[in-house]
């Protein structure tokens, strides 16, 4: 079993445990009174004057271990907003990324820009839960979902006013995402099975994504030169985590 398979298995266990605490019907009811601007994540990326930055709040990762020994996540999020981020990605996966739902809930209270719940969505419960926690968007990973489930999840996401960042890793998954109705497609330059990074993957797959979709490049983006390269071949946004968590200044990447 590779790391991705282990994460998915643990995520199923986590969701089942959470359902026992708060059943699905109660979580759905909790989403109803929450006033989140419809599709605010998508609107923020589309309205950016230049390439948009999605900045990530991340304590650890399977490939790097602990990235941030000190983790003042609220201040990090506020700094991202002050520096001009279009949106913030918040890890909530606890076992390999040391994320927590509480980070998302508390960050939602201190910033006004849209938040992406960065997790391994394997159950529609997690989509409704994301809205309750304060997210404006969720990550849907093609490699852990089949085509039918992906389409169903995108429909649920859009019906409750959230956005879906649909993550792909190859040509087949690009087609899968488009067929399922994705409006935002993210290419993860990191292979989730080997964790090797190839930033040219975004460049190769960009040509397969229609211009009316939002194209996001993820992972392996460390320098202003990387951002400029992605800008030149038409990336609408970049998702940056590790470089910023290790101290790179957002203004240096613009």
Instruction: Give me the active site residues, please.
Output: 56, 58, 118, 167, 188, 218-219
Count up the domains in the chain and report the number.
1
pLDDT in the model for residue 28: 95
Residue 115, both tokens: 């938040």
Q: Average pLDDT of the chain?
A: 92
Portion of the chain with pLDDT greater than 70, in percent = 94
Instruction: Average the pLDDT over 161-178 and give the result.
Output: 97
- What pLDDT score was predicted for residue 210? 97
Q: What is the pLDDT of residue 251?
A: 53
pLDDT in tens, 92-137: 999 999 999 999 999 999 999 999 999 999 999 999 999 999 999 9
As a whole number, mean pLDDT of residues 146-168 equals 97
Question: Could you tell me the pTM of the whole model?
Answer: 0.93
Question: Contact 67/242 with Cβ under 8 angstroms?
Answer: yes
pLDDT in tens, 26-76: 999 999 877 666 899 999 999 988 899 999 999 988 877 888 788 999 999
Using a 10 angstrom Cβ sphere, with 0-12 exposed, 13-18 middle and 19 or more buried, the burial of residue 22 is middle
Mean pLDDT over 185-210 rounds to 89
CATH code, 206 = 3.20.20.70
What is the mean pLDDT of the segment spanning 13-26?
97
Q: How far is CA 70 from CA 73, 95, 204, in A?
A: 9, 18, 37
Q: What is the pLDDT of residue 252?
A: 44
245: domain range?
Answer: 3-253
């Amino acid at each position: 079993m590779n790391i991705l398979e282990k994460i998915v298995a643990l995520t199923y266990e986590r969701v089942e445990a959470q359902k026992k605490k708060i059943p699905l019907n109660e979580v759905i009811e909790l989403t109803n009174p929450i006033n989140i601007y419809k599709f605010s994540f998508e609107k923020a990326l589309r309205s950016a004057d230049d390439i948009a930055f999605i900045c990530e709040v991340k304590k650890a990762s399977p490939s790097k271990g602990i990235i941030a020994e000190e983790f003042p996540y609220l201040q990090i999020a506020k700094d991202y907003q002050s520096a001009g981020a279009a949106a913030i990605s918040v890890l909530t996966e606890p076992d390999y990324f040391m994320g927590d739902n509480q980070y998302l809930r508390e960050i939602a209270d201190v910033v006004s820009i849209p938040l992406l719940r960065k997790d391994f969505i394997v159950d529609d419960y997690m989509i409704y839960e994301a809205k309750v926690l304060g997210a404006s968007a969720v990550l849907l990973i093609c490699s852990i979902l089949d085509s039918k489930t992906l389409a169903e999840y995108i429909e649920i996401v859009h019906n409750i006013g959230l956005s879906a960042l649909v993550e792909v890793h190859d040509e087949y998954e690009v087609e899968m995402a488009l067929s399922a109705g994705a409006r935002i497609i993210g290419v993860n330059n990191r292979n989730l099975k080997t964790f090797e990074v190839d930033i040219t993957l975004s460049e190769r797959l960009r040509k397969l994504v229609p211009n009316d979709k939002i194209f996001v490049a993820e992972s392996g983006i460390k320098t202003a030169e990387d951002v400029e390269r992605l800008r030149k071949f038409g990336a609408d946004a970049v998702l940056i985590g590790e470089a910023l968590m290790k101290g790179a200044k957002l203004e240096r990447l613009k």
